[in-house]
Amino acid sequence: MAGSDAIRERESPKRLIAEALRIGFHSLGISEATRSPHADRFLRWIEKKQYASMQWITRNTQRRIDPRKSLPGARSVLTVTLPYSSAVSSTGPSTEPGAKVARYARGRDYHKVMRPMLESLCEFVSEGDRWNTWWSVDTSPLLERDWAELSGIGWIGKNGIVIDHEIGSWFFLGAIVTDRSFVASTPAMDHCGNCTRCIDACPTSAIVSPRTIDAGRCISYWTIEHRGELPKESRLHNWLFGCDICQEVCPWNTREGRKDPQIHPELAPRQFPTDPQEITHLSHEAWLEIYAGTPVTRTGYEGLKRNAHKIIEQRIDPGE
């Protein structure tokens, strides 16, 4: 029986949450499948071209702001979290020298880790072909953080990242949209208060206003998503791939009493070379051996060498 013909009452999520935890997720929250309350902010961001060269984000905008466009008849959005290691890299925090790789990218590619986990949870939700499901992790058109906030997972910090008050922000998000209806969780409250540490610490002023990132100024964008030569004015501040500064300074990630969640074994951090000179000399085979299966390959062999060259260039001429 298709979902639309089946029982319409909201169900208790108790068994669903237990199943998500059994599969290995850290938490699961539920929100109603509606238009995102921040949809207009997203559309303004697109209008202002704050996506730099990420043209792909301008496609499917209606689907991105409303999950019902991806799954007609959708009733619930289930948001799950999967923590990654918060341990500092072998080069230490971003104040220390050495080419740095963001924490999220130091284990196996999370898309690969989360895919079977989400598929397994979808199987549980759909009960054979009784209910329809559609899932997303990062690359699908869905404003994942908006539903994470609505489903009580955490609030969107001024750094633009979802923060869980117990474990901080070192985790990935995944989402399942379904026409099965579950009782929604209580939306998360903002706990940033008057703090502006992330905005003050961002070395490139990419957080142009609280919760709005101009990708064209963000080190994470330059080192991961930008293709071709880096703009002359770009400053990488020793980041070879990604950037963690606006999370490193967040008190919710450093406070005493923060819970250190269990990390999925496949996300255990690897050791990567930290000398940018060494990276510029890597053969293609060596590059594959070191980074295959991790998110770092997204920027490509040439892209990573480009980033290493830029770091070296800026050590010779800091330019500020």
Active site residues: 138
Does position 192 interact with ligand SF4 (CB under 6 A)? The reply is yes
Does position 10 interact with ligand SF4 (CB under 6 A)? The reply is no
Does position 142 interact with ligand SF4 (CB under 6 A)? The reply is no
Looking at beta carbons only, is 246 or 308 nearer to ligand SF4?
A: 246
- Smallest distance, Å, CB 220 to ligand B12? 3
Partner in contact with 45, chosen from ligand SF4, ligand B12, none, beta carbon below 5 to 8 Å by kind: ligand B12
Neighbour count for residue 246 (Cβ, 10 Å) = 26
- Smallest distance, Å, CB 220 to ligand SF4? 4
CA 242 to chain centre: 11
Partner in contact with 146, chosen from ligand B12, ligand SF4, none, beta carbon below 5 to 8 Å by kind: ligand B12
Looking at beta carbons only, is 126 or 212 nearer to ligand B12?
A: 212
Binding mask 71-90 for ligand B12 (x = CB under 6 A): --------------------
- Smallest distance, Å, CB 127 to ligand B12? 26
Looking at beta carbons only, is 10 or 197 nearer to ligand SF4?
A: 197
- List the structure tokens of 276: 């940018």
Does position 245 interact with ligand B12 (CB under 6 A)? The reply is no
Answer yes or no: are the C-beta atoms of 141 and 229 closer than 8 Å: no
| The one segment of 109-117, 132-140, 174-182, 201-209 that binds ligand SF4 by CB under 6 A | 201-209
Cα 160 from Cα 63, distance rounded (Å): 21
Calculate helix-pair angle for 110-126, 14-23, nearest 10 degrees.
150
Q: Which 214-253 residues touch ligand SF4, going by CB under 6 A?
A: 218-220, 243, 245-246, 249-252
Does position 120 interact with ligand B12 (CB under 6 A)? The reply is no
Burial of 237 (0-12, 13-18, 19+ CB in 10 A): middle
Binding mask 54-93 for ligand SF4 (x = CB under 6 A): ----------------------------------------
Q: Which residues bind ligand B12 (CB under 6 A)?
A: 38, 41-42, 45, 54, 57, 102, 104, 137-138, 142-146, 156, 159-162, 169, 171-173, 211-213, 215, 218, 220-221, 224-225, 242-244, 246
Q: Which residues bind ligand SF4 (CB under 6 A)?
A: 157-159, 192, 195-198, 202, 204, 206-207, 213, 218-220, 243, 245-246, 249-252
